[in-house]
Amino acid sequence: MAIELSSILSRLQTLSTSDHASVVSMNLFVALLCACIVIGHLLEENRWVNESITALSIGVCTGVVILLSSGGKSSHLLVFSEDLFFIYLLPPIIFNAGFQVKKKQFFVNFITIVLFGAVGTLISCTIISLGVTQFFKKMDIGSLDIGDYLAIGAIFAATDSVCTLQVLNQDETPLLYSLVFGEGVVNDATSVTGLVSAYIIKKLYFGRHSTDREVALMILMAYLSYMLAELFYLSGILTVFFCGIVMSHYTWHNVTESSRITTKHSFATLSFVAEIFIFLYVGMDALDIEKWRFASNSPGTSIAVSSILLVLIMAGRAAFVFPLSLLINLVKKSPNEKISFRQQVIIWWAGLMRGAVSMALAYNQFTRAGHTQLRPNAIMITSTITVVLFSTVVFGLMTKPLIRFLLPHTKHTSSMILSDSSTPKSVNAPLLGEGQDSEADLGDTNVLVDINVPRPGSIRALLATPTHTVHRYWRKFDDAFMRPVFGGRGFVPYVPGSPTERSFLQVQ
């Protein structure tokens, strides 16, 4: 009996020590997050450094300190987990991007985005897969099967959406932002939960009793869309992105003014903290001693693998950005809608960065629960880390200066597009195209309208100006069927305490 009691006490002491170590780790990590925010604020006006590079650098420096203090046994406070990344950190980032996106710019270029996101990624994946198959078989890496080569192509072919959000500003370069970021999220899925939330809030109108319920329902429904997509093996990233678009178009107009301000800043804050968390997390995990120990026996091989991957990423991206841009320009009628060569260079360059998404996919493919004892798998993990660090720092540092050099007048152009502090950035623009006949355009002088675009009335007009024609018919459908049911700007009925109460009283 005494032995059993001693054993139980020993286990409790071990658990207590483990819990205390976890608390210490979380305290340090939260402190580092605060440091990243403060330093990022101080470097806000720096033309070279952005917050992703700041967090990455702090993570690497912290990893070095931990590695030295632990005697070379560990370099991170938390072990990188693809589940933590995909389930908890990525959804708020992608949702907020959809919630804040300039919908006009995004949907006007939707065909281009689909071409880049689907056809372009397939071309890049093919080139990278064929390249690594040819080069890696001639190198002393180890046994990698055809599935591994295809996985490498898929891991490094896609643009990292999180990195794009950090280096491209949709107010300064809306076209480039929509093309590069949109390319990173295009896949498959639907956002039915966004419409469900709009309908529930419009009909029940929680705000008359509690603003908290409105905010909570919007946040939970957004997260539910992501988890439902994952449950049915669909693209959670695209689902939550379009859920954000749908909610900003319908749901956001059905809530009280206080809920609008709260949701706007809540989504932005969650996204901001998740982005900093990810880059700090990646920087700290870059010195994972277990993987580097396997690769240290052949450093030349590891460097060669990383170099080959970088060259193939650049070649694969160039193989579709420039040809597809040429094809798109041949179809576009207006010179203003064509993608200039300078813009093509920026699209190519800004999409070269690889970040936490690539790392999470690499860990999922080449490790088991974050650990591996196989040399080829360890080399692929360390090479992925090298590519992520190099591309984020080098390509990330050069993106803003490159934009200023190639497109020196972007700030002047973007200053014409204003945003209301009480609305999401995307609400000032219609859902598709120019929308000259929508109520948003008639009542909001902040929206730029192309008065020279003729209103289409025939099949010939549809073929001549497909984007504007589709937008006009979408507007008619939206105003006639969607907004009366799901709400939206100008379609919220008067209810005491509702968003329309203030304007109703002002009219009286």
Which tens digits make up the pLDDT trace of 212-243? Answer: 888 898 999 989 988 988 888 877 887 888 88
Say how far apart CA 214 and CA 208 lie, in whole Å.
Answer: 10
Nearest residue to 474 (alpha-carbon basis) of 456, 451, 460, 492: 456
What percent of the chain has a predicted confidence (pLDDT) above 70? 68
Q: Where are the domains of the chain?
A: 82-185+263-406
Positive or negative CA dihedral for 23, 29, 33, 34?
Answer: positive
Contacts of 149 (CB under 8 A, 6+ apart): 129, 132, 133, 136
pLDDT of residue 209: 62
- pLDDT of 10 reads 57
Return d(Cα 345, Cα 343) in angstroms, integer: 5
Angle 181-414-420 from CA coordinates, rounded to 5°: 90
In three-state form (DSSP H/G/I as H, E/B as E, the rest C), the secondary structure along 418-462 is CCCCCCCHHHHCCCCCCCCCCHHHHHCCCCCCCCCCCCCCCHHHH
Cα angle for residues 196, 199, 201 (degrees, 5° grid): 105
Phi, psi dihedrals of residue 160, rounded to the nearest 5°: -85, 110
For residue 371, the 8-state DSSP code is B
Task: Quickly count: other Cβ atoms within 10 Å of residue 200's Cβ.
Answer: 17
- Residue 429 pLDDT: 33
Determine the pLDDT at residue 67: 81
pLDDT of residue 34: 92
In angstroms, the CA 19 to CA 107 distance is: 49
**Res 411: pLDDT:** 47
Three-class secondary structure of residue 368 per DSSP: strand
Residues of the chain with pLDDT below 50 are: 9, 12, 15, 187-191, 411-423, 425-457, 462-463, 497-508
Can you tell me the distance from the alpha carbon of 464 to that of 456, in angstroms, rounded to the nearest whole number?
9
